[in-house]
Amino acid sequence: MAEVKQAARPLSPHLQIYRWSWTMAMSIAHRVTGCALYAGTVLIAAWLVAAASGPAAFETAQWIAGSILGRLVLFGYSFALLHHMVGGLRHFIWDMGYGYEPETRMNMAKYSGVVSGGLTLLVWILAYALR
């Protein structure tokens, strides 16, 4: 039987091999925001259950959502929602066959965080202005 040299075998790629790039970071952020959306959706479902349970339960849910911690959670949820949407649009553009050039790919990844952050701030500013 032939012996296989350990040094000749290829390494399995992992995060210590690859050099970090914007597309890698945004890919991970897209997955993280997708997981965060599950938790946020559970909170929205709890809020809806409280609304259906009666005025006392709804008032408690509104108090929690209106607290500083509740607003931070809502801000994070809205950022996760918008960041995941922008990342999905970036993937949709790639699915259409565009944006594969290295510079375009990196710019799309860099600006997806900026655009999602800006959209989150815009939504919250509009929400407080129309309140």
The CATH number fitting domain 22-130, selected from 3.90.550.10, 3.70.10.10, 3.90.25.10, 1.20.1300.10: 1.20.1300.10
SS3 of residue 109 by DSSP: helix
30 assigned ligand-binding residue = no
pLDDT digit string, tens, across residues 21-70:
898 899 999 999 999 999 999 999 999 999 999 999 999 999 999 999 99
> What is the model's pLDDT at position 8?
62
Minimal CA–CA distance to 109: which of 7, 22, 32? 22
Rounded to two decimals, what is the model's pTM? 0.82
Residue 18 has what pLDDT?
74
Q: Which of 42, 39, 34 is nearest to 80 (CA)?
A: 34
pLDDT averaged over every residue in the chain: 91
Residue type, 117: G
Three state DSSP letters for 28-72: HHHHHHHHHHHHHHHHHHHHHHHHHHCHHHHHHHHHHHHCHHHHH
Q: In the chain, where are the structural domains located?
A: 22-130
